[in-house]
Structure formats: C-alpha cells, structure tokens
Amino acid sequence: MHEIDRRDFLKLAGLGGAVFASGLAGCSAMGSKAAQEDFYFVQLSDTHWGFNGPVVNPDAKGTLPKAVAAVNSLDRQPDFIVFTGDLTHTTDDPQERRRRLAEFKQIVGALKNPNVRFMPGEHDASLDRGQAWSEFFGETHYSFDHKGVHFVTVDNVSDPAARIGEAQLAWLKADLDRQDKDARIVVFTHRPLFDLYPQWDWATRDGASAVELLMPYRNVTVFYGHIHQEHHHMTGHIAHHSAKSLIFPLPAPGSVPKREPIRWNPAEPYRGLGFREVDAELQQAQYSITEFPIKGA
C-alpha cells in the first residue's frame, strides 16, 4: 500500500492495522507495461443490510453508509470495489429480500467509483437460488481481466447446500484453461473454499474441487468473506484471505462453544468491523493487504 493512501485511510478510519501477505510467488509471465501497472482495489464484505440487532450493532443502518463515505474520501480512488457477499441479511419474505437488495444498491450507488463488482452470500441467495439477487446484480459467477490480473468470482452460496456444483466447476475449468499457468489469478468467493471450520459450517461442500482446478496455476490468491473476521490460510501455494464484516464480528473458529455474533462494546464501537484495501504490486508479484476498521462519524 502506498503511504499516501495509508495516511488517508488512517485519517478516515481513525485506527489502522496492516497485514501484508504475499499472495503471489513468482511472476514470470509479465505482459505489456500497461498490463503490469500496480493498482489497488477495495474489498467490502458481509454488510448484511436489513440486519436488526441493537445489542450486536446499534448502528446497523449507519455502518454501510460510513464505509461508502470512507471509500469516497480516498484521494486516490481504487481501480474497482468488490463486495464479497451477504450484501443483505436474509429474510424468508421474497418481497422484503428485494426491498433490502434495492436499498443496498441505492446506498452503494453513492460510491464515487462506479466500477463496483458484486457477488452474493448465502443470506442473499440461498433461499431462492440467487433469483432475487440476480434481478439486481446479474450473474452470480463471472470472470474479468484487469491490468494483467485475471479475476474470477465463484458462487458457493446459491445452492443452499453450499456447493459450487458440477456446472459451475466445468465453467471454472474452461475459464482457467484459457489462462497461462503463470497467469496472475485472483478468486473472489463468499465461503472459504477449504474446510476452515465445518463444525460452524465454515466450508464449501465441494470447495476442494475448485482448489484442485486452481492448483496447477502458480499465482493464485483467494479473497472471501462469510466468517466476519480476518483469517489467512494457505492450501499449498494458494493463499486465502477472509475479510472483516461491516455489521458484526464473529468469534475465531472454535474459540467459543457456540458461533454467535460478538456483542457491541460501547467502549470500543465498531470494533472488529472494517474493510480492506488490496494493493496489487505486480512487479513484486505480491498483494499487500491493509485492514481498516470503521469509526463513528
């Protein structure tokens, strides 16, 4: 992360904690000079718009707008912004689901940078297999290229059983087949692709199949959400980084008897919440991740 950006984030967020993770090892297939340009994107996750639980987050309606304002206030805007799922909090009422999706879309429509990528979480998509979500945001899995990096979104939530499914795995294979083995590949997904803690349903049923497809590629990094906290894990040479939430933090895997949101602490409001900047330092073949909490206005 460039110093000027870090200062900006520190100023906006009030606090800052940095994690630098080497996500790419080796980078022998450099493209054109333009394609090698360093850039950064912002990852926001698990905003759970519509959640109501004052004990957990008394500012449930204010946290997302604060994050939008913080991103907008950056002097240097990110190349793009990605939301890695659970845009809305689940509801059994299809109409209410659409109302929450519409409100979420309106709020993030205030982002200064219009280049925003979305993907669903199980709260958005698992009760109707992504139907309502797709009405607002389109395909639940897709790929795109940006400045020499191939980005792939993997949907492991539209199936309520948390499977990617054979059809999408075939699509993923075909997509990857078009990439060089040295290509720089970033995967966005919601649930962890590995068995982080299946005792709390922190896994993807057939995630190992996706990891197997990715394994031949030497420069792969996965960014995901779902677990409402930072977590860093390697499966072989593939790095997996989970993001904080923007509604409530969850305890570390297996650290307490029951998985329940961590209660709001008035002495430390917004503790455990935040978003991250990911700086693609392509010349160094590294991604630097910096985590920033949310602070009240």
Partner 1 sequence: MNPKRRRLLAAGAVSAIAGASFAACVLAQTPEQVIHITARKFAFLPGEITLKQGVPVVLEFVTADVVMGFSAPDFKARADIIPGQVARVRLVPQQIGSFDFVCDIFCGDGHEGMSGKIHVVA
Residues that bind partner 1 (CB under 8 A): 89-92, 122, 126-127, 157, 160-162, 195, 198-201, 205, 258-260
For partner 1, the closer of residues 28 and 199 by Cβ is 199
Rounded to the nearest whole angstrom, what is the least distance from the CB of residue 6 to partner 1 in the complex?
35
DSSP string over 176-194? HHTS-TT-EEEEEESS-SS
- Residues 6+ positions from 202 with CB-CB distance below 8 Å: 191, 192, 196, 226, 227, 253
The least distance separating partner 1 from the CB of residue 115, rounded to whole angstroms, comes to 30
Q: How far is the CB of 156 from partner 1 (least distance, A)?
A: 11
If the CB atoms of residues 2 and 259 are measured against partner 1, the closer one turns out to be: 259
Nearer to partner 1, 23 or 121 (CB): 121
Least separation in angstroms between residue 211's CB and partner 1 is 18
Nearer to partner 1, 159 or 279 (CB): 159
In a 10 Å sphere around its CB, with 0-12 CB exposed, 13-18 middle and 19+ buried, how is residue 259 labelled? middle
- Partners of 296 in beta bridges: none
CA 289, 47, 114, 12 dihedral sign is: negative
Q: Using DSSP, state whether 47 is helix, strand or coil.
A: coil
Q: Are 278 and 43 in contact (CB under 8 A)?
A: yes
CB of 260 to partner 1, least distance (A): 7
Give per-residue burial for 181-202: e unless 16+ CB within 10 Å, then b. Answer: eebbbbbbbbbbbbebbeeeeb
Write down the least CB distance from residue 269 to partner 1, Å: 23
Nearer to partner 1, 159 or 291 (CB): 159
Please tell me whether residue 219 adopts helix, strand or coil conformation.
Answer: strand
**Do 207 and 164 meet the contact criterion of CB atoms below 8 Å apart?**
yes
Which residue number, 75 or 92, has a Cβ lying nearer to partner 1?
A: 92
